[in-house]
Amino acid sequence: MSDPNSPEIQRFEPVPGRRPYWTAAFSGGAPIGPDPATPERWFEPSPAPAAGSGGVTPESGRGNGRGLVAILLATSLIAAVVGAGGTYLALRASGALDQTTATPGTGTGTRVAIESDASTIIAAANRVGPAVVQISTDDGAGDTSVGSGIVYDSRGWILTNKHVVAGAKTISVRLADDRQLAGTTYGVDTLTDLAIVKIDAVANLAVAPIGDSAPLQVGQLAIAIGSPLGLQYPNSVTSGIVSALGRDISVPADNASSTASTSLHGLIQTDAAINPGNSGGPLVDGSGRVVGVTTAEAQTAQGIGFAIPIDIAKPIMQEALAGEPLSRPFIGVTYDLIDKGLEEQHSLPLDQGAWVHKEDVNGNSIAAVVPGSPGDKAGIETGDIITSVEGQTVDASHPLEDLLVQYAPGRTVSVEIYRGGKYLTLMVTLGTRPATTS
């Protein structure tokens, strides 16, 4: 519980703000242009009167005509200036003159205001950059490394990658204003490549706004901030787009002497340049909120990097703030997420869900439920299809693992399964995920 006499503590769950990407400025109607052309006859001299008619002479007629023309031209000019000025003021007030574009190929298409990528990136970098730190580690044997981290609470809590601090004997945290502080590893995640580092609270410690990764869409702006070239290049900013969602990759194990690899699931793929020193830094959206934690780059390709969705990180961020050990829920089943190809290949009865299934190296089906695990105790069997957790559908956008991480170990959740043509609801009391579970 916070001290009521202490300054207000900044939390990491900000209220999502509105995000005005494209705003219609005004609808095109009749084109705005000059007044209708003056009839040509107004510029012709008056016809000469018949002799003895007592009418005006040709000379006087031309004089009157010229005066009339001058008056008409002056009136038209004044009207045009006043009208144009009024139109300009109205358009300026509406914001329609701010970086607008017309529908391609037309002169009267609907005009929309376009958010400048450059100004958006600058604003996002200025908002998050002060809360991005550089993390230097030493394993005590002379091996050092540099990564990045995100300050998410003003009491000195930092989110980073597990591989950034794995094996570290000493940790040095360099703030954006160049202050140097000693850090300690509070805990590491047993599910993903995440860790929490703690430093002493200091004055004016900037905190990054934390967003939500669930609403992310392929194609939207993505900004990475970190130290891609080590100690001399902190807070470097790169930008791109969200290239894909729900990616699964394998990365080398933390122990360099191990040949094993770690599987990471449900990642954000981006073409914003990500290099080793970016690890643990933020992936930021166009509103200047952290939506992911950069974690890996593709070694065999260019322009492909990955970030852990921030929604997956939030449970351990909350556990750290509460002073609890970092833990993840465990159900104890191996599964394949059903898609159209898997459905057709194995003649599955459903086109979505988590198929409880496992194969040996020869492709033979084997037991997919860990004996004595929470899933086993609840009655889940190999071959079942898990269709929902607490009423939330399991599908390509909501894998079983992503749904489970929302709940703390020890929580009992309802799990719907499909077996033998029937839907069954089982109650599963989640266990604690072992550190060695992949």
As a whole number of angstroms, the distance between CA 43 and CA 50 comes to: 21
As a whole number of angstroms, the distance between CA 280 and CA 226 comes to: 8
Stretch (H or E) spanning 428: strand 422-429
Decide: 200 and 188 in contact? Cβ < 8 Å.
no
Residue ranges of domains in the chain, CATH in brackets: 1-20+116-324 (2.40.10.120), 22-114 (no CATH), 329-432 (2.30.42.10)
Stretch (H or E) spanning 375: helix 374-378
Decide: 223 and 272 in contact? Cβ < 8 Å.
yes
The predicted pLDDT at position 361 comes to: 85
The answer to whether residue 189 scores a pLDDT higher than 80 is yes
- Name the β-bridge partners of 226: 236
The answer to whether residue 432 scores a pLDDT higher than 60 is yes
Mean predicted lDDT score pLDDT of the chain: 79
Length of the chain equals: 438
Cβ-based burial of 281 (10 A; exposed 0-12, middle 13-18, buried ≥19)? buried
The answer to whether residue 203 scores a pLDDT higher than 90 is yes
Question: Which residue has 């894909």 as its token pair?
Answer: 244
As a whole number of angstroms, the distance between CA 396 and CA 388 comes to: 12
Decide: 302 and 166 in contact? Cβ < 8 Å.
no
**Nearest CA among 151, 137, 297, 296 for reference residue 210:** 151
Strand 157-160 and strand 195-198: the pairing is antiparallel
As a whole number of angstroms, the distance between CA 295 and CA 191 comes to: 14
Decide: 31 and 107 in contact? Cβ < 8 Å.
yes
Please compute the mean of the pLDDT values over residues 182-205 and round it to a whole number. 94
The predicted pLDDT at position 48 comes to: 45
DSSP E strands, 74-201: 100-101, 111-114, 132-138, 144-153, 157-160, 170-174, 180-188, 195-198
Q: Which letter does DSSP use for residue 178 in this model?
A: S
pTM of the model: 0.67
As a whole number of angstroms, the distance between CA 346 and CA 327 comes to: 35
> How many other CB atoms are there within 10 angstroms of residue 380's CB atom?
25
Decide: 158 and 186 in contact? Cβ < 8 Å.
no
Which three-class secondary structure state does DSSP give residue 126? helix
Q: Which of 67-81, 217-231, 402-416 has the lowest mean pLDDT?
A: 67-81
As a whole number of angstroms, the distance between CA 389 and CA 368 comes to: 19
pLDDT level of residue 436 (50, 70, 90 thresholds): low
Decide: 213 and 156 in contact? Cβ < 8 Å.
no
* Largest interatomic CA distance in the chain: 126
Q: Which of 140-149, 169-178, 381-390 has the lowest mean pLDDT?
A: 140-149
Which three-class secondary structure state does DSSP give residue 169? coil
Angle subtended at Cα 344 by Cα 342 and Cα 347, rounded to the nearest 5 degrees: 100
Which three-class secondary structure state does DSSP give residue 215? coil
DSSP E strands, 215-352: 221-226, 236-252, 261-270, 282-284, 290-297, 305-309, 329-330, 335-337
The predicted pLDDT at position 401 comes to: 86
The region that residue 203 occupies, defined by phi over 0 for left and psi between -120 and 50 for alpha, beta otherwise, is: beta
Decide: 108 and 31 in contact? Cβ < 8 Å.
yes
Question: Which residue has 């929580």 as its token pair?
Answer: 411
The predicted pLDDT at position 90 comes to: 52
As a whole number of angstroms, the distance between CA 429 and CA 425 comes to: 13
Q: Which letter does DSSP use for residue 51 in this model?
A: T
Q: Which residue has the higher pLDDT, 211 or 275?
A: 211
The answer to whether residue 19 scores a pLDDT higher than 50 is no
> How many other CB atoms are there within 10 angstroms of residue 306's CB atom?
25
List active site positions: 163, 193, 279
Please compute the mean of the pLDDT values over residues 55-64 and round it to a whole number. 48
Highest mean pLDDT among 151-165, 264-278, 300-314, 400-414: 151-165
Sign of CA dihedral 183, 200, 323, 194: negative
As a whole number of angstroms, the distance between CA 208 and CA 235 comes to: 13
The predicted pLDDT at position 9 comes to: 52
As a whole number of angstroms, the distance between CA 29 and CA 171 comes to: 64
Decide: 331 and 428 in contact? Cβ < 8 Å.
yes
